[in-house]
Amino acid sequence: MSTVIKNGTIVTADLTCKADVLVDGGKIVEIGPDLKGDETLDATGCYVMPGGIDPHTHLEMPFMGTYSSDDFESGTRAALSGGTTMVVDFALPSPEQGLLDALQMWDNKSTRAHCDYSFHMAITWWSEQVFNEMQTVVQERGITSFKHFMAYKGALMVNDDEMYASFKRCSELGAIPLVHAENGDVVAELQRKLLEEGNNGPEAHAYSRPPEVEGEATNRAIMIADMAGVPLYVVHVSCEEAHEAIRRARMLGKRVWGEPLIQHLTLDESEYAHPDWDHAARRVMSPPFRNQKHQDSLWNGLASGSLSCVATDHCAFTTEQKRYGVGDFTKIPNGTGGLEDRLPMLWTHGVGTGRLTPNEFVAVTSTNIAKILNCYPRKGAVLVGADADLVVWDPEKEKTISAASQQSAIDYNVFEGKTVKGLPRFTLTRGRVAVNDGEFVGQEGHGEFVRREPNGAVNKALSSWKELTAPRKVERTGIPASGV
Ligand code: DUC
Ligand code: ZN
Ligand code: ZN
Ligand code: ZN
C-alpha cells in the first residue's frame, strides 16, 4: 500500500520546496506535484522533514547499580512521538566482558523497538580480545563507532594508553571513536573532597564536574585522536571550554565533531539549587547543566557549524532510583530523559527564536549525524530511494510538556511545564505511520537494525605531526661510555 504526503513544504538540510512525497515499500519512491497514493496524509501548513536521529541514548542500560528505566519499547515510542525515527544506543560491555557478548545482549533488548536503531560499541576495558573483536564488530556487525568514557573511574573509565590503543585500532578499521570527555581522576578527587566537607546533596554534583574537567579532557582526546590519525566525535559537549577545544581543532583542519544535548541548551545550573531534593536529583546527569554563558556558546556553535548534532543522552531513572543517592550525591544514578522532547524543544528555542533556520534544524537533528555515521542518504534525507523515515511537522501546534502525558516510563519530566510550539502531525517509520495527529499508533518490533559501513574516505585526521616528527635515527661519530 502506498502513502502520499500532500500539500506540505519539504524542508531538508539544504533546500525548502513545495512538493508531495510518495512512499511505498518503506521507501520514498517519488517527489513532485500532484502525486496520488492508496492513502493520503494531509500536510497543509506543515513541513515534511527527515525524521530525527538521536545519536545518543541509553535504553535499559545497567548503570550505577540499577538499569535505566526506558527500554527499547518505551524509548522508541517516546522517540517517534516527538518526531525522532532512529536512535543510536550504546552497547556497553561490563568489565572483562567481550564485545560480541555484550552485543548479543543489546540484540536481545532491541527486538521490541518501534523505530530503526543502530549501536555504538563502548570500549570499557582493553585486552587482546577487545582488539580482535573490534574487527568483527566493524566488519561483520556493521558497527563503526566506538565510545570511550574518560570519566567514571573504577567503572567505565579507560586510561590514556588504552584510549590511544583503541583510537589507533579505529583508524585501522575505518571506525570513528567517540568520547565522554571529563577528567575522571579530577572528578573522583573533587567528589571525595566535597563529601568529606559534608556536601552530600545533589547540588554538589555540579561542583564535582566543573567546565575545566570537560575542557581538559576534550582537548586531550582531540590530541590523542590526532596522534592516532583518526577523526573524533565528542558526545554531550556542555561548556565553552570543550566547545573552544573543538572549534580550534576544526580550524586546524581536524575532523572533530561536537554534540550538545537539548538539556544543556535549555536548562541551567539553577536547577540544582532547587530546595526540593527530588527536583535537583532528577536533573543530575554528567556533564551537569551549566550557566547562560555556556548555553550561549552551544547555541552559537550550532548556528556557526562548530557543533554538529543535537542529542539527548536519554538515560531515564525514576525518582525512586534517584533516591539511591540520598546522603551521597555520587550514588544518584546519572541521567535524564529527553527523547520525546528533543525536536519540539529545539524547534521552540532554536527556530522559534531565530537562532536556527528550519534547514539548520534538520541538519543538526538528522542529516549531519547520518553523514558522520555513514548511513546517509538512507537516513537523514528526503530523496527518492531513501527510507521513508519522515516527520510531518506542524509549526503551529502547541503543548505544555508534562510527565502525565509522556511516553517515557518515568514519573517526571525535566521539561515539566514548558510550552513548546512545533510538534509532529504525523511520524512515519519506514513508511509506516507511527504517530497520527498526536496519537501513537506504532508497532512494537517494527524497528530494524541499521548496519553501517566503515568510511575510509573521511577517516584521516589532517595532522602534520607524523611527517614532521617521523623518527629519524642520527648516525653519531661517538657514543660516550655509560655514566654510571
Ligand atoms: N551521563 C549521564 O548522565 N548518564 C549516562 C551516562 C553519562 O555519561
Ligand atoms: Zn557520557
Ligand atoms: Zn520540582
Ligand atoms: Zn551517554
Calculate the alpha carbon distances from 239 to 231, 256, 269, 455 in Å.
21, 16, 12, 29
The mean pLDDT of 6-26, rounded to a whole number, is 98
Ligand 1 centroid to residue 149 C-alpha, Å? 10
Which one-letter amino acid corresponds to residue 59? Answer: L
With a 6 Å cutoff on the Cβ, whether 238 touches ligand 1 is no
The mean pLDDT of 8-29, rounded to a whole number, is 98
Of 459 and 66, the structure prediction assigns the larger pLDDT to: 66
pLDDT at 464: 55
With a 6 Å cutoff on the Cβ, whether 57 touches ligand 1 is no
HEC secondary structure over the chain: CCEEEECCEEECCCCEEECEEEEECCEEEEEECCCCCCEEEECCCCEEEECEEEEEECCCCEECCEECCCCHHHHHHHHHHCCEEEEEEEECCCCCCCHHHHHHHHHHHHHHCCCEEEEEEEECCCCHHHHHHHHHHHHCCCCCEEEEECCCCCCCECCHHHHHHHHHHHHHHCCEEEEECCCHHHHHHHHHHHHHCCCCCCHHHHHCCCHHHHHHHHHHHHHHHHHHCCCEEECCCCCHHHHHHHHHHHHCCCCEEECCEHHHHHCCHHHHHCCCHHHHHHCCCCCCCCCHHHHHHHHHHHHHCCCCCCECCECCCCHHHHHHHCCCHHHCCCCCCCCCCHHHHHHHHHHCCCCCCHHHHHHHHHHHHHHHCCCCCCCCCCCCCCECCEEEEEEEEEEECCHHHCCCCCCCCCCCCCEEEEEEEEEEECCEEEEECCEECCCCCCCCECCCCCCHHHCCCCCCHHHHHCCCCCCCCCCCCCCC
pLDDT digits (tens, 9 = 90+) for 48-63: 999 999 999 999 999 9
- What is the b/e burial string over 127-162, where b = at least 16 CB atoms within 10 angstroms of the residue's CB? eeebeebbeebbeebbbbbbbbbbbbbeebbbeeeb
Ligand 4 centroid to residue 26 C-alpha, Å? 30
Interatomic CA distance for residues 362 and 11, integer angstroms: 8
Contact 450, 377 (CB under 8 A): no
Whether the predicted model's global pTM rises above the 0.90 cut: yes
Ligand 4 centroid to residue 199 C-alpha, Å? 26
- Which residues are found with C-beta within 5 Å of the ion, ligand 2? 180
With a 6 Å cutoff on the Cβ, whether 334 touches ligand 1 is yes
438 pLDDT band (50/70/90 cuts)?
confident
Identify the nearest ligand to the CA of 416 by its number.
3
Contact 362, 308 (CB under 8 A): no
466 pLDDT band (50/70/90 cuts)?
low
Q: Which atom of ligand 1 is nearest to the CA of 61?
A: 5
pLDDT digits (tens, 9 = 90+) for 407-418: 999 999 999 999
With a 6 Å cutoff on the Cβ, whether 333 touches ligand 1 is no
Ligand 2 centroid to residue 165 C-alpha, Å? 20
With a 6 Å cutoff on the Cβ, whether 288 touches ligand 1 is no
- Residue 223: how many CB atoms within 10 A of its CB? 16
Interatomic CA distance for residues 89 and 106, integer angstroms: 9
With a 6 Å cutoff on the Cβ, whether 285 touches ligand 1 is yes
Identify the nearest ligand to the CA of 205 by its number.
1
Interatomic CA distance for residues 467 and 483, integer angstroms: 33
pLDDT of 463 strictly over 70: no
Top mutation candidate among 89, 187, 236, 282 for ligand 1, by most atoms within 8 Å of CB: 236
> Which three cell numbers, joined as nine digits, stand for 209?
564536574
With a 6 Å cutoff on the Cβ, whether 284 touches ligand 1 is no
pLDDT at 456: 62
Angle at 245 between CA 280 and CA 271, to 5 degrees: 10
465 pLDDT band (50/70/90 cuts)?
low
Q: CA-based Rg of the chain, rounded to a whole angstrom? A: 23
21 pLDDT band (50/70/90 cuts)?
very high
Top mutation candidate among 182, 183, 313, 336 for ligand 1, by most atoms within 8 Å of CB: 313
Ligand 1 centroid to residue 8 C-alpha, Å? 38
Ligand 4 centroid to residue 335 C-alpha, Å? 8
Ligand 2 centroid to residue 178 C-alpha, Å? 10
Q: For atom 4 of ligand 1, which residue has the closest CA?
A: 335
The mean pLDDT of 350-365, rounded to a whole number, is 98
With a 6 Å cutoff on the Cβ, whether 58 touches ligand 1 is yes
pLDDT of 28 strictly over 60: yes
Which one-letter amino acid corresponds to residue 474? Answer: V
pLDDT at 70: 98
Top mutation candidate among 68, 70, 334, 410 for ligand 1, by most atoms within 8 Å of CB: 334
pLDDT of 83 strictly over 50: yes
pLDDT of 468 strictly over 90: no
Which one-letter amino acid corresponds to residue 242? Answer: A
pLDDT of 316 strictly over 90: yes
Please give the ipTM for the structure prediction: 0.92
Give residue for cell 661519530. 477
Ligand 3 centroid to residue 425 C-alpha, Å? 30
With a 6 Å cutoff on the Cβ, whether 180 touches ligand 1 is yes
pLDDT of 471 strictly over 90: no
Contact 413, 406 (CB under 8 A): yes
Identify the nearest ligand to the CA of 337 by its number.
1
Contact 417, 401 (CB under 8 A): yes
461 pLDDT band (50/70/90 cuts)?
low
Give residue for cell 516510563. 409
Q: What is the CATH number of domain 51-380+394-417+450-462?
A: 3.20.20.140
Could you tell me whether strands 439-440 and 432-436 are parallel, antiparallel, or unpaired per DSSP bridges? antiparallel
Top mutation candidate among 183, 272, 286 for ligand 1, by most atoms within 8 Å of CB: 286
Q: For atom 1 of ligand 1, which residue has the closest CA?
A: 286
Interatomic CA distance for residues 145 and 151, integer angstroms: 19
197 pLDDT band (50/70/90 cuts)?
very high
pLDDT of 389 strictly over 70: yes
Q: For atom 7 of ligand 1, which residue has the closest CA?
A: 286
